[in-house]
Structure 1
Amino acid sequence: MEFTASGRLEIRISGSDLGKRVSVRRLDDPGDGTGGFTDTVGVLTSWDEGVLTITRRTGESVRIAESSLVAGKVVPPAPARRRGPAAGWEELTRVAAGAWPPVESAALGAWTLRAAGGFTRRANSALALGDPGLPLDGALDAVRSWYAARGLPAYVQLATGAEDSQEARCLALERRGWTREVTAGVWTGALARVADADAPDADLVHLGRVVDDGWLARYQRSREPGPEVRRVLAGGPSVWFAAVPGDGASGGAPAAIGRCVVDGRWAGFMAVEVAPEQRRRGLATAVMAALARRALDEGASAAWLQVEADNQAAQALYGRLGFAVHHHYHHFSDRSFRPSEAGR
């Protein structure tokens, strides 16, 4: 916090600092006169009628009464992450979108409307990069109409937590009644470190280009895989499927599976799943190591993956393999239309 020459805290932000990263301290008021202080760091996304809204790196919006402020200042953008390859959030967003290709898509200005029969929100949401060519309200109406015509809910995908990302647009959707349903981290790391991971069972991993019934039997993201599931999973620039054969107790399903999509310098890891009775054997690491080695053979050098904010077990694994959070993405839903079920 900033101090004046007399040593007192000072408020050095105003409504003219919208869009900048700020750090503020506010006085809590529990009602009994014993309030403490709370610090908040994030992007100043609004300052209206005596209330500030600061959007944190995770996409969470914090509303703060101007009257409770005791200090505030503009701070530099979040420092560049030293772990993992250098990349902008837009580059990673486009690469990740290519790994979950929709069955059907349409352009809305620079936005992309994506549909795949409801399988995974990543292939059934508006990728809101750039200018939609319409005022925001008009663009959202077009999104609703396009998805309603296909019997699907309207979702918009946005990113936060990186320099010049979409905190302000997140707040704009929230103010229009859209609800943030999913938050996930995009993690990046060095591909060679994954390939070199100590995985004694890596030789058990079978790699192939085709998603078969056995692989799908282990995959937990779709209860009844239809043709759109196979099309999305098989889509992408260069797709590999990994499986560790199961035993008699598995009913024919693999003990572990994984998927990797290679796109230029990037290798994306997804659908890494292990049978409950086979966990803590290092099979997830073995699957990722085998896929990473194949991606290195194709010329990739950098790795990415997506993990939901509450999946602590996966986060621990990826941390051990050298991954770190790059930014977050969110799916915002218009609850005026809901199907019976939709995947992440």
Structure 2
Amino acid sequence: MEFTTGARLEVRITPDDVGKRVSVRRLTDACETGARFTDAVGVLTSWDAGELRLTRRNGQVVRIPESAVVAAKVVPAEPARRRGPAATAAELVRVAARGWPPVVSEQLGDWTLRASDGFTGRANSVLPLGGPGLPLDAALARVTRWYGERGLPAMVQVATGAAGTQESLAAELDARGWSVRRAALMQVGELAPVADRGAAQRVELSRTASAEWFTLYNRAGEPTPAARTVLEGGPSVWFATVPGADGVPAAIGRCVVDGRWAGFAAVEVSPEHRRRGLATTVMAALAARALQEGASAAYLQVEPDNEPALALYEGLRFTTHHAYHYRYRPTT
């Protein structure tokens, strides 16, 4: 525990400490058992509307009412753990899903049905991490109804190309006419070499995506509620902006820290500022922040035909771990 018995209890943090690693002692509801206090250590990711939110090293989010806090202080950031990016596909898929949370979801056995008003495939598709708990045809019928009720096409995200992935499910869907529409590569790399590429260009980091940030994010356009929910969700999220002229950033990026993993997304550079290394600058700033929170490995998703992005990530020593694609229900 971070607080020793008999130590003076003081709250020595404020909302200005959001983004720092803190230790918080709070009152519990189990006073009659003698357990009056419990401690939580993690990154203070928000302090709004009378509630603190801490993200622990394992990605767990702890919500603490401000009225229950009896002591708190900033504690030194953990040194980056040395464990590299080795991982199973199942681990990576779960981490990536936590870092891109849908607006609504529902479990069907070990399948997660996700919907977010159509904002991105990952947030509007089935994530199968095992069996659905009923025969496949019945499960697919349930999936079709669930997405139809939300005005969305039925879609399943299927991982391939690594041990433990879902080639058998892909074959079953193929036999039923579920077509492949889009594909992506899951790439991994060590985090420290990315942070080492930092440059003198100023990069602003924030916990929320500003209206200016959205002007460069090509997937969203106007920041819809669904887009904000997905982009600002996750264990410990950071947005990077390289300021530009006329309110349009020169470059942007997003990173979500979840335990040892840092996930990069939305790295964009405005056309007039390309070929200046700004994408690398953005990723380096985000990587440095993730290292401070104890991460050591990185992941990202990239389309296989995006040659400029693939060249960038290869230069940052990312390699492909596995691939995934989306299967769409056949039209009748």
Name the TM-score class by shorter chain: 0.7 to 0.9
- CA distance in structure 1 between the aligned counterparts of 2:163 and 2:318, rounded to whole angstroms: 19
| CA offsets 1:39-76 (integer angstroms, 9 cap, x no match) | xxxxxxxxxxxxxxxxxxxxxxxxxxxxxxxxxxxxxx
Query: Where has structure 1 moved over 4 Å in runs of 4 or more?
Result: none
Equivalent residue runs for 1:1-344 within 5 Å: 85-197=85-197, 199-201=198-200, 203-247=201-245, 251-336=246-331
- CA distance in structure 2 between the aligned counterparts of 1:137 and 1:168, rounded to whole angstroms: 15
Q: Which runs of 5+ in 1 are unaligned?
A: 1-83, 338-344
By how many angstroms is 1:236 displaced? 0.1
By how many angstroms is 1:90 displaced? 0.4
RMSD of aligned alpha carbons: 1.4
> 1:267 aligns to what SS in structure 2?
strand
> 2:302 aligns to what SS in structure 1?
strand
In structure 2, what residue type is equivalent to 1:144?
T
> 1:313 aligns to what SS in structure 2?
helix
> 1:204 aligns to what SS in structure 2?
coil
By how many angstroms is 1:129 displaced? 1.1
Q: Which runs of 5+ in 2 are unaligned?
A: 1-83
In structure 1, what residue type is equivalent to 2:123?
A
Paired residues of 2:88 and 2:164 also in contact (CA < 8 A): no
> How many residue pairs end up in the alignment?
250
- CA distance in structure 1 between the aligned counterparts of 2:167 and 2:235, rounded to whole angstroms: 30
Normalised by the length of structure 1, the TM-score is 0.71
Equivalent position of 2:27 in the other structure: none
By how many angstroms is 1:154 displaced? 0.7
> 2:289 aligns to what SS in structure 1?
helix
- CA distance in structure 2 between the aligned counterparts of 1:126 and 1:200, rounded to whole angstroms: 40
In structure 1, what residue type is equivalent to 2:113?
L
In structure 2, what residue type is equivalent to 1:318?
Y
- CA distance in structure 1 between the aligned counterparts of 2:324 and 2:235, rounded to whole angstroms: 22
> 1:229 aligns to what SS in structure 2?
helix
By how many angstroms is 1:252 displaced? 1.3
- CA distance in structure 2 between the aligned counterparts of 1:230 and 1:253, rounded to whole angstroms: 19
In structure 2, what residue type is equivalent to 1:207?
L
Normalised by the length of structure 2, the TM-score is 0.74
In structure 2, what residue type is equivalent to 1:114?
R
- CA distance in structure 1 between the aligned counterparts of 2:129 and 2:315, rounded to whole angstroms: 32
By how many angstroms is 1:85 displaced? 1.6
> 2:122 aligns to what SS in structure 1?
helix
